[in-house]
Structures are given as C-alpha cells and as structure tokens.
Amino acid sequence: MAFKGTRRRPNAQVLEVEIEDMGARLNAYTSREQTTFFADVQARHVPAALDVLSDILQHPRFPERAIQRERGVILREMEEVQGMMEEVIFDHLHAAAFQGHPLGDTILGPEENIRSISKKDLEQYISTHYTCPRMVVSAAGSVSHDEVVDQVKELFTEFSTDPTTADQLVQANPAIFTGSEVRVENAEFPLAHIAIAFKGSSWTDPSSIPLMVIQSILGSWNRSIGVGNCSGSSLARGISNANLAESLMAFNTNYRDTGIFGIYTIAPPDTLQDLSRLIMAEFRRLASQVSETEVARARNQLKSSLLLHIDGSTAVTENNGRQMLTYGRVMPFLELFARIDAVDCATVMETAKEYIIDKDIALAAVGQLTELPELSWFRSETCSDDDFTRRILFGNAK
C-alpha cells in the first residue's frame, strides 16, 4: 500500500514512472520483527531515491479503492503461501513454539484481518510503529555517509519521536517458548514435512554464535545434489546412507529476545521412526562427542556462508541496517570472525547441553504421519547420552 501514492505523488503510476526514469528498483518486505523499504539506484540518484522513500513513509495516501484491490492481492498471496510447504511448516512451528505471542502469528496475519483492514488501521499502524527510535536509514555502495546523513536530516522529519524503544516493547511482552506441536495429517502428500525445534537465543545473547556453529555442524543436504557419503555433516551421511529422507536443513533463527533452532526434513512416511531416532541421537551427540575437526569445518563453512550472504550493496545495506537495529552498531567482520573462531569443542558441547539436553521441543509436521513418534517421545530423547543409556539398561525406553 505504501507504493500506491503519496501527497506529492498522487498515484502508483506517477511513482512508478519516476522510479523507472531513474532506472531504479523500489521494493519492501516484512519479517516477523522488521519491515524494510529499499531502493537500488545509481549513485547520482541517491538523493532522489531518499526523497521517494521519505515521501512514501511519511505521506502515504492509502486510497480506499487501492485498499480494496490490495486485499485481493494479499488473499491470493496467502493462497500461494499455503502451497509452499516450507513456509507452512515454519508458520506451524512458530505457532506451536510461541503460543499467544506475536512471534507465533504468520507474517500475513489471519484472513479476517486482511478482509477488515481499513485506512484508519494503516495510518494508526504507521504512527505507532514507524518511530524515530525504532528506525534505521542504511546506505551502501558509491555513497557519501555525510551527504546521506544531511539528506536524511532534511527529509525524514515527520516521524513520531515517541521514545519507546523496541527493547522496551519486548520486555513488556516477552516471548515464551512452549513445548508443543502442530500435526496436520494429509494422506494426499507422498512425503512428510517435519520440523523439530528447540528454544534458541536472541541476537545479542552470547550463545548466538555457538548456536550458529551448531547449525553448521548439523548441516543441510538434498538428495538431488547426490549422495551424502562425503558430506561433512554426520547427520547427512547417516540419513543418506540409510536412505531415510529426501532432504534436511538445520535452521537457527534469532529474534530480539529469543530464538528457535532445529532440523527441517522431508521424508517418506515409512522412514519416520528411524529418521526421528537418528536426528535425536545427533542432537544428543552434540552435547558429548564433538570432534575438533568437525567444529573447525563448521566454523569455516559458517564464515563462508556469512560472506556469501552480503554479495552486493543491497545485501550490505540490509545487513548493516539489521545490525544497527539489533546491536546499535555494525559489527566488523574481523570481530565477528574472531567470535566464531573462539568457538571450540567445549563451547559447542556446553551450548548443546544448555539448549538441547532435557529441554522442551516444538514440533510441526504435515503429511502422512502415522509413523512419526509422539511429542512425548521426542521430549524423552533429549536426556543426556549417559541418562539415555541408563534408561535403556533399566528397561524404561519405549
């Protein structure tokens, strides 16, 4: 809706022509905690792009006819998302893990909200949430920092100066991780989609870096790229050799006051018991039997991945803006890599004990799930290997 016209640019066509004349790209996206508006332009058009961004954020018109049309667009987008199984699984996972909290909601929101949203709702949202203490203007590439600062001071003048910060809002309504599950039985699905997750860390928690290394140790694998016998991930090798799944992906998502990490896998329905045993055994292993070789490999893979994710000025701009909102500064890569290199075997095992052993699990699954163990079984599998062995010896394992 922000691109449908402003006071000075009365409709979407005027705005589009101006952007196209600059040879620019204007877009926006929303995640669970942040909204980003961005423009990719030639260096000589930076002042004009900043003017456009400031205008659409401070003076949106929200014409009623455009709101009606956009409702239909969003509802169609919702239908498309419902056909993307990875999106569906992670929405279910967040709903299970963060019940009754905004992190448990989908990004698009419930259908009834989309059908009823009004111009007044949009204006109130902007005045409430688009405030100076909660906003960052980031630029990268062939730009002058001082010139951008001067332009922002001149253009971005009408936002609310409400001193409430995002941290204060989070403290007033903290996210609580809940051990729970969402299972959707669907016999029409030839494969089962499953996510198994633990509570993770916030962006600023000291455990955030070790958990990133743990994610790298767990790794990712897809049958379409070949067998996993040579994979650095022991989990990928085990799953590939036993032919238990079509793919797996370790994930680690940070939020302002919490996080969520685990494994997302796609597998045939008849392998779910063996696959679940192997995944949970790997989680337990991280707390007791990690080699320096695999930790060193994971550190290097993590650093390479981080560098590849900032390939280009747009990615750098987004990364810098996100870090300013998160840390209040941009962390130099030398500092970040030093923190990664400080993670050794002992750190990994200590972190795994803290976040995995005897901890609650959130589970989301869609497909033919008859062979998928109960949530109580997954929870029982989080005991340490010593306790697990002791439990088997005393005949308590099922």
Among 123, 144, 168, the domain-final residue is 168
Tell me the pLDDT band of 398, cut-offs 50, 70 and 90: very low
Residue 353 and residue 279 share a domain: yes
**Residues ≥6 apart with Cβ < 8 Å to 159:** 57, 58, 130, 131, 132, 135
- pLDDT exceeds cutoff 50 at 274: yes
Within a domain: residue 242? yes
Q: What average pLDDT does the segment 356-368 reach?
A: 98
Q: Give residue 10's pLDDT.
A: 87
- pLDDT exceeds cutoff 70 at 386: no
Q: How far apart are CA 381 and CA 398, in angstroms?
A: 10
Tens-digit pLDDT profile for residues 25-83 = 999 999 999 999 999 999 999 999 999 999 999 999 988 888 999 999 999 999 999 89
- Within the chain, residue ranges assigned H as helices are 12-21, 46-58, 64-82, 85-97, 111-116, 119-129, 145-155, 166-172, 208-218, 234-241, 272-285, 292-308, 313-327, 333-341, 345-355, 375-380, 385-393
Residue 374 and residue 275 share a domain: yes
Q: Could you count the other beta carbons within 10 Å of the beta carbon of residue 217?
A: 25
Q: Give residue 388's pLDDT.
A: 56
Yes or no: say if 136 and 105 are a contact pair by the CB < 8 Å rule. no
Yes or no: say if 211 and 261 are a contact pair by the CB < 8 Å rule. yes
Q: What average pLDDT does the segment 310-315 reach?
A: 89
Tens-digit pLDDT profile for residues 200-210 = 999 999 999 99
The CA-atom distances, in angstroms, between 290 and each of 211, 221, 286, 353 are 14, 20, 6, 12
Residue 289 and residue 145 share a domain: no
Domain holding 121, by residue range, is 12-97+102-168
Tell me the pLDDT band of 397, cut-offs 50, 70 and 90: very low
Amino acid found at 56: I
Q: How far apart are CA 13 and CA 10, in angstroms?
A: 8
- pLDDT exceeds cutoff 90 at 390: no
Within a domain: residue 1? no
Q: Give residue 231's pLDDT.
A: 74
Within a domain: residue 342? yes
Q: Give residue 228's pLDDT.
A: 57
DSSP state of 205: S
Domains identified in the chain, total number: 2
Residue 189 and residue 91 share a domain: no
> In 3D, which of 206, 229, 362, 353 has the Cα closest to residue 285?
353
Higher pLDDT pick, 5 / 228: 5
Residue 321 and residue 214 share a domain: yes
Among 117, 146, 168, the domain-final residue is 168
Residue 146 and residue 195 share a domain: no
Q: How far apart are CA 343 and CA 10, in angstroms?
A: 54
- pLDDT exceeds cutoff 90 at 197: yes
Yes or no: say if 207 and 272 are a contact pair by the CB < 8 Å rule. no
Residue 117 and residue 86 share a domain: yes
Q: How far apart are CA 34 and CA 162, in angstroms?
A: 18
